[in-house]
């Protein structure tokens, strides 16, 4: 689902996690504005801090050496049908659940078989892959003549019936059919099978089969079949039987007529034809297997084998390399080209180049002709005179071999295909050879002096390449650096971000100081993994492409539980935490929680402490930060919500910062993942429940063992959506407690979990932030596990699938400590505020996850965290002072140290205020755990 994100936050929509405090706890009240002697006049004190770099930010690169040439559409005439006639039928597997489309671009078919079945002569069936290549699994049979089947965006197709031996694509009894730019994987059956068909072209494809006789088979009833500019393999190095003699890429059966195999890359395999009438094997690069590169059997006539580059000394490429396979097993090598006795008179072989390694001798016989092996070209020529000339008169042994390159932007396989300066194959092919193409494998025109093999030598710009470096910059954004290399000539770059957004374009003159370099930012609309593809094309039409896979850094919330992960009181799974020691809690891979999560929403409860101290939660494997989440004194039971970054091993650590032992309970209510899940949206704080006056529930205390439902969907005056809310951010306050106990918030309709959110003693008033999953009925439930109490529930935000911000956890960082030397303004006076600007003025940061702790308290009070509409410049030049809201985030009594988690939403310039709602001064500590971002 496309989920639009807000790119700015307005004063009307900003919110802060806070609670309306009950009267007994010194409630925020505008009629009781505290005053204190000596309060500073004018602008409030404040501090701007630099956000720590999220640990998840990465830099990924794809060096220029990984650039591959771009295969352009064939320039030769297509014989299947007249251009411009008929309609285009669209096929795709993207977003397809059932095959209910009508074949239009807006509503394509999900099945290629469906597309070809409705096509009539003159139609084009276009198979699209785009953002997630078409990976349809079906065995398709084409029986309609005069159509074209063309792939776009790396369209792929694999057979559903591999074990039954059905080919991926069967052309049966058809004429004038073209199949182009498709990747077809046949398993143990051919990728393409041509039966009783004529005037068929297979062009610019990727044709693969494994454990089978051939990737392409052409039966004896077919004629005028062309296989051109395609990569063909049969998994020779992986699956050859030592006794099989190697595999065949393209097999032509007895009786076939006028077959052309031209401009192809054949990996660890070759061409075999029996009893054919008219066979052209022209301009191929054949990195052969153990069998011959070309094998003409039976009584074949009108056979031409010319302009081919044949390799048998290249290892480590093309699925392991045919040479490496045979040599490693002491298998005999068949000669490069084999022609049976009955076929010899009707066969011409010439202008072939044999790469033999760095020595000018060939350990493999170049020819087996009419049953005789010829160890050298000289011996073969001498034995095969042709009236003033000889067979193989222009054949060469080449000591300058081609180098490995990937066959295309989405191909993992490599083959030795790129000609190097000095190769005998350059400019030496026969332009008049039967079946010779006007362009090479990549679509580059050969000109007057074509090269041997399938790939033209790039003499005008052999160093053309492009290197990529992508760096995370925000929750949804990256910066891409492109460095283009090559001859100093005009070049043109295009950048496809992989998300369907407009392609970025840039041009270079080729003479820029410091080289050709482009740096450009991009922001994705959805979290996910994307492939960024850059194409560099020069003025001569040479083009290379490179790609790099990027993953957005932001995380979104997935509801889970609540569930108890740790209870040291019961040994589940650890025992009491010793002084100045840590306990590890497994998050990723625990229960139904996936691995790779970035942060966990934990309610941490400290109980039975024997000395004063604090609890620090941090990602396992990282240095323990100078921050805290829960503060305690002996005998207390204290809860605190935390969004804790998760370590690379899937664990978090909880550190006991005291000289005594403590028991710790950890309950999880959700986690954050880099996959698109639920984004966060703050709302203006709204009271949903107050049992003291009957708001949202009965006007009475909640009894021990009782519970009540809270309506979330559509609540808060419509601020919460009626659908799509997966979890809600609340402040839950308990007051007027009659006996010790706890509150548990959980999804309505679910079984009450063994978990707690607020723990309290008798006559306590305690607030805690809560993030709780919402039930299927749009409600949550609050349970009282102790004595009767009044309950107040305030909503401050929600997580949903209709939009919202992504979360970026950071290593916990202390951004404010009014006791420390970096703060020059002393304690915060009663009734006054300070501001924080932790992220600059960027409006895309919608909320900050902070833990606030008040200490050195001298009178009862409360802390309010609220957005500030001013900027730092406004304060320098006379801003209107902000008005303290009548809400609060935590409450204290004299002498207490009280923490609470706050998701603080800044104003339009990045500032939020921290108000001291007490009569006397306090010290304040603020620790940052992460932030939400829209961009």
Within 377-505, residue ranges assigned H as helices are 377-383
pLDDT at 322 over 70: no
Question: What's the pLDDT score for residue 355?
Answer: 87
Q: 24 φ, ψ to 5°?
A: -65, -15
Residue 897 corresponds to which tokens in the numbers above? 């140290």
Average pLDDT rounded to a whole number, residues 43-59: 79
Each residue's pLDDT tens digit, 221-255: 999 999 999 988 876 543 344 344 457 899 999 99
pLDDT at 404 over 90: no
pLDDT at 164 over 50: yes
CB 901 within 8 A of CB 796: no
Q: Where are the domains of the chain?
A: 23-50+808-933, 221-231+249-431, 465-551, 556-673, 679-800
Measured distance CA(565)–CA(44) in Å, rounded: 43
Each residue's pLDDT tens digit, 655-690: 999 999 999 999 999 999 988 889 999 887 788 999
Q: 112 φ, ψ to 5°?
A: -65, -35
Question: What's the pLDDT score for residue 3?
Answer: 43
Question: What's the pLDDT score for residue 185?
Answer: 84
pLDDT at 901 over 80: yes
Question: What's the pLDDT score for residue 37?
Answer: 33
The H or E element that residue 533 is part of is: strand 529-538
Question: What's the pLDDT score for residue 484?
Answer: 87
Residue 407 corresponds to which tokens in the numbers above? 């066959």
Measured distance CA(649)–CA(289) in Å, rounded: 45
Domains 23-50+808-933 and 465-551 share a fold: no
Question: What's the pLDDT score for residue 41?
Answer: 45
Question: What's the pLDDT score for residue 633?
Answer: 94
pLDDT at 411 over 80: no
Question: What's the pLDDT score for residue 29?
Answer: 34
Question: What's the pLDDT score for residue 149?
Answer: 95
Q: Residue 885 contacts by C-beta under 8 Å, 6 or more apart in sequence?
A: 18, 28, 864, 866, 915
The structural architecture, per CATH, of the domain 679-800 is Sandwich (2.60)
Measured distance CA(846)–CA(407) in Å, rounded: 46
Question: What's the pLDDT score for residue 854?
Answer: 95
Q: How confident is the model at residue 311 (pLDDT cuts 50, 70, 90)?
A: confident
Measured distance CA(552)–CA(533) in Å, rounded: 16
Could you give the maximum distance between any two Cα atoms of the chain, in Å?
A: 119
Q: 627: left (phi > 0), else alpha (psi -120 to 50), else beta?
A: beta
CB 802 within 8 A of CB 889: no
Residue 277's Cβ-count burial label (10 Å; 0-12, 13-18, 19+) is middle
Question: What's the pLDDT score for residue 133?
Answer: 47
Average pLDDT rounded to a whole number, residues 899-921: 92
Question: What's the pLDDT score for residue 359?
Answer: 54
Q: Between the ranges 4-8, 9-13, 344-348, where is the mean pLDDT highest?
A: 344-348
The answer to whether the bond into 562 is cis (omega within 30° of 0) is: yes
User: Dihedral sign, CA of 477, 483, 488, 492?
Assistant: negative
The region of weakest confidence among 62-66, 521-525, 648-652 is 62-66
Of 189, 138, 151, 195, the closest CA to residue 167 belongs to 189
Q: How confident is the model at residue 923 (pLDDT cuts 50, 70, 90)?
A: very high
The H or E element that residue 115 is part of is: helix 112-118
pLDDT at 68 over 80: no
The H or E element that residue 236 is part of is: helix 236-239
Residue 782 corresponds to which tokens in the numbers above? 């609050």
Measured distance CA(914)–CA(924) in Å, rounded: 9
CA 119 to chain centre: 36
Q: In 63-209, which ranges are E strands?
A: 68-69, 88-92, 124-128, 135-137, 140-142, 148-152, 156-158, 169-172, 175-180, 183-185, 192-195, 198-203, 206-208
Question: What's the pLDDT score for residue 30?
Answer: 31
Measured distance CA(664)–CA(571) in Å, rounded: 10
Tell me whether strands 214-218 and 192-195 are parallel, antiparallel or unpaired.
parallel
Residue with tokens 């290549």: 133
Task: Specify the 3-state DSSP secondary structure of 31.
Answer: helix
pLDDT at 328 over 60: no
CATH of domain 465-551: 2.60.40.10
Q: Residue 713 contacts by C-beta under 8 Å, 6 or more apart in sequence?
A: 720, 721, 722, 723, 725, 774, 778, 779
CATH of domain 23-50+808-933: 2.60.120
Of 220, 156, 227, the closest CA to residue 186 belongs to 156
Of 839, 809, 814, the closest CA to residue 908 belongs to 839
Average pLDDT rounded to a whole number, residues 827-846: 86
Average pLDDT rounded to a whole number, residues 831-856: 88
Q: How confident is the model at residue 509 (pLDDT cuts 50, 70, 90)?
A: confident
Q: How confident is the model at residue 704 (pLDDT cuts 50, 70, 90)?
A: very high
The region of weakest confidence among 19-33, 464-478, 502-516 is 19-33
CB 221 within 8 A of CB 195: yes
Average pLDDT rounded to a whole number, residues 2-12: 32
Tell me whether strands 504-508 and 491-496 are parallel, antiparallel or unpaired.
antiparallel
Question: What's the pLDDT score for residue 281?
Answer: 98
pLDDT at 82 over 50: no
Residue with tokens 């392409």: 216
pLDDT at 23 over 70: no
Question: What's the pLDDT score for residue 358?
Answer: 58
Average pLDDT rounded to a whole number, residues 614-623: 94
Measured distance CA(707)–CA(775) in Å, rounded: 15
Residue 711 corresponds to which tokens in the numbers above? 């309506």
Cα separations in angstroms, 58 against 247, 531, 670, 807, 816:
44, 15, 25, 16, 28
State the average pLDDT for the chain: 84
Q: Between the ranges 87-96, 532-541, 610-619, where is the mean pLDDT highest?
A: 610-619
CB 555 within 8 A of CB 527: yes
DSSP state letter for 922: B
CATH of 556-673, picked from 2.60.40, 3.30.565, 1.10.110, 2.60.120, is 2.60.120
Question: What's the pLDDT score for residue 102?
Answer: 86
Of 522, 514, 528, 534, the closest CA to residue 468 belongs to 534
Report which of residues 149 and 891 the model is more confident about. 149
Residue with tokens 């153990």: 290
CB 673 within 8 A of CB 556: yes
Question: What's the pLDDT score for residue 70?
Answer: 72
Q: 248: left (phi > 0), else alpha (psi -120 to 50), else beta?
A: beta
Q: How confident is the model at residue 5 (pLDDT cuts 50, 70, 90)?
A: very low
Question: What's the pLDDT score for residue 417?
Answer: 77
pLDDT at 16 over 50: no
Residue 138 corresponds to which tokens in the numbers above? 């079906």
Measured distance CA(892)–CA(590) in Å, rounded: 36
The region of weakest confidence among 94-108, 322-336, 359-373, 674-688 is 322-336
Each residue's pLDDT tens digit, 339-390: 999 999 999 999 999 987 655 555 688 999 999 999 999 999 999 988 788 9
For 779, other C-beta atoms within 10 Å of its C-beta total 17
The region of weakest confidence among 128-137, 449-458, 590-599, 861-870 is 128-137
Measured distance CA(606)–CA(637) in Å, rounded: 6
- Cα distance from N-terminal residue to C-terminal residue, the chain: 18
CB 266 within 8 A of CB 232: yes
Report which of residues 783 and 731 the model is more confident about. 783
Which residue(s) pair with 537 in the sheet?
A: 492, 543
Cα separations in angstroms, 483 against 463, 468, 508, 742, 831:
13, 7, 11, 60, 57
Question: What's the pLDDT score for residue 698?
Answer: 95
CA atoms within a 13 Å half-sphere pointing along the CA-CB vector of 118: 17
Task: Specify the 3-state DSSP secondary structure of 741.
Answer: strand
Each residue's pLDDT tens digit, 166-180: 899 999 999 999 999
Residue 178 corresponds to which tokens in the numbers above? 């073209």
Average pLDDT rounded to a whole number, residues 526-539: 89
Measured distance CA(213)–CA(758) in Å, rounded: 70
pLDDT at 933 over 60: yes
Q: How confident is the model at residue 8 (pLDDT cuts 50, 70, 90)?
A: very low
Percentages helix, strand, coil for the chain, rounded to the nearest 5? 5, 45, 50
Each residue's pLDDT tens digit, 413-433: 567 778 888 899 999 999 999
For residues 579-602, one letter each, b for 16 or more C-beta atoms within 10 angstroms of the residue's C-beta and e for the rest, the string is eeebbbbbbbebeebeeebbbbbb
DSSP string, 324-378: HHHHHTTPPPPPSEEE-HHHHTTEEEES-EEE--SSS--SS-SEEETTEEESSHH
């Amino acid at each position: 689902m496309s989920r639009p994100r807000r790119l700015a936050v307005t004063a009307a929509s900003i919110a802060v996690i806070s609670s309306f405090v009950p009267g007994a706890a010194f409630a925020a009240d505008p009629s009781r504005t505290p005053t204190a002697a000596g309060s500073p006049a004018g602008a409030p004190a404040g501090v701007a801090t630099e956000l720590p770099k999220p640990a998840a930010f990465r830099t990924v690169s794809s060096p220029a050496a990984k650039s591959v040439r771009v295969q352009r559409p064939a320039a030769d005439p297509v014989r299947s049908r007249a251009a411009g006639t008929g309609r285009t039928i669209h096929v795709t597997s993207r977003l397809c659940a059932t095959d209910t489309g009508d074949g239009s671009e807006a509503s394509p078919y999900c099945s290629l078989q469906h597309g070809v079945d409705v096509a009539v002569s003159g139609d084009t069936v276009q198979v699209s892959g785009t953002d997630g290549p078409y990976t349809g699994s079906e065995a398709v049979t084409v029986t309609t003549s005069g159509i074209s089947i063309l792939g776009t965006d790396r369209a792929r197709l694999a057979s559903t019936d591999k074990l039954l031996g059905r080919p991926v694509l069967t052309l049966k009894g058809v004429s004038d059919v073209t199949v182009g730019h498709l990747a077809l994987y046949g398993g143990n059956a051919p990728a393409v099978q041509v039966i009783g068909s004529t005037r068929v072209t297979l062009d610019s494809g990727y044709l693969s089969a494994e454990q089978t006789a051939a990737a392409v088979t052409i039966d004896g009833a077919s004629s005028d079949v062309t296989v051109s500019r395609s990569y063909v393999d049969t998994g020779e190095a992986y699956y050859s039987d030592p006794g099989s003699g190697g595999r065949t890429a393209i097999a032509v059966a007895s009786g076939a007529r006028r077959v052309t195999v031209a401009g192809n890359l054949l990996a660890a395999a070759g061409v075999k034809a029996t009893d054919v009438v008219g066979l052209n094997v022209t301009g191929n690069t054949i990195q052969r297997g153990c069998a011959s590169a070309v094998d003409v059997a039976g009584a074949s006539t009108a056979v031409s084998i010319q302009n081919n580059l044949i390799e048998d000394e290249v290892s480590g490429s093309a699925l392991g390399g045919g040479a490496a396979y045979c040599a490693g097993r002491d298998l005999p090598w068949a000669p490069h080209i084999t022609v049976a006795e009955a076929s010899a008179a009707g066969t011409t072989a010439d202008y072939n180049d044999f790469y033999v390694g760095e020595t000018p001798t060939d350990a493999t016989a170049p020819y087996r002709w009419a049953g005789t092996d010829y160890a050298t070209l000289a011996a073969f020529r001498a034995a095969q005179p042709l009236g003033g000339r000889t067979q193989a008169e222009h054949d060469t042994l080449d000591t300058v071999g081609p180098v490995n390159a990937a066959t295309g932007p989405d191909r993992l396989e490599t083959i030795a295909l790129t000609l190097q300066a000095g190769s005998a194959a350059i400019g030496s092919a026969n332009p008049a050879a039967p079946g010779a193409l006007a362009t090479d494998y990549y679509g580059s025109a050969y000109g007057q002096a074509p090269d041997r093999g399938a790939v033209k030598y790039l003499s005008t710009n052999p160093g053309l390449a492009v290197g990529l470096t992508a760096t995370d910059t925000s929750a949804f954004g990256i910066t891409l650096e492109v460095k283009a290399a090559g001859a100093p000539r005009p070049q043109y770059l295009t950048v496809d971000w992989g998300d369907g957004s407009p392609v970025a374009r840039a041009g270079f003159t080729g003479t820029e100081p410091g080289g050709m370099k482009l740096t450009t930012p991009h922001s994705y609309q959805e979290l996910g993994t994307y492939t960024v593809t850059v194409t560099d094309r020069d003025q001569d039409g040479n083009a290379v492409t490179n790609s790099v896979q990027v993953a957005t850094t932001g995380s979104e919330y997935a509801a889970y539980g609540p569930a108890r992960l740790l209870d040291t009181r019961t040994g589940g799974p650890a025992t009491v935490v010793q002084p100045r020691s840590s306990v590890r809690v497994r998050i990723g891979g625990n229960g139904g929680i996936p691995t790779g999560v970035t942060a966990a929403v934990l309610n941490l409860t400290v109980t039975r402490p024997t000395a004063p101290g604090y609890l620090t939660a941090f990602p396992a494997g990282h240095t323990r930060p100078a921050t805290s989440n829960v503060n305690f004194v002996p005998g207390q039971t204290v809860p605190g919500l935390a969004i804790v970054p998760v370590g690379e091993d899937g664990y978090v650590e909880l550190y006991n910062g005291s000289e005594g032992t403590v028991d710790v309970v950890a309950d999880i209510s959700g986690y954050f993942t880099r996959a698109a899940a639920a984004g966060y949206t703050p709302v203006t704080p709204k009271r949903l429940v107050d049992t003291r006056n009957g708001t949202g529930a009965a006007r009475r205390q909640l009894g021990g063992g009782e519970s009540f439902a809270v309506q979330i969907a559509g609540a808060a005056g419509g601020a919460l959506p009626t659908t799509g809310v997966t979890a809600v951010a609340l402040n839950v306050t308990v007051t007027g407690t009659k006996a010790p106990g706890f509150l548990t918030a959980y999804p309505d309709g679910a079984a009450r979990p063994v978990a707690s959110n607020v723990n309290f003693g008798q006559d306590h008033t305690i607030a805690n932030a809560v993030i709780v999953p919402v039930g299927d009925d749009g409600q949550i439930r609050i349970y009282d596990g102790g004595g009767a109490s009044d309950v107040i529930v305030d909503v401050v935000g929600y997580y949903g699938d209709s939009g919202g911000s992504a979360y970026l956890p950071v290593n916990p960082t202390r951004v404010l400590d009014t006791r420390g030397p970096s703060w020059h303004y002393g304690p915060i006076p009663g009734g006054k505020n300070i501001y924080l600007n932790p992220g600059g003025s960027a409006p895309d940061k919608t909320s900050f996850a902070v833990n606030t702790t008040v200490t050195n308290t001298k009178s009862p009070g409360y802390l309010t965290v609220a957005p500030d509409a001013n900027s730092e410049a406004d304060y320098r030049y006379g801003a209107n002072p902000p008005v303290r809201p009548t809400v609060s985030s935590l409450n204290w009594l004299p002498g207490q140290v009280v923490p609470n988690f706050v998701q603080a939403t800044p104003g339009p310039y990045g500032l939020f205020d921290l108000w001291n709602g007490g009569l006397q001064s306090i010290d304040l500590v603020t620790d940052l755990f992460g932030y939400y971002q829209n961009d």
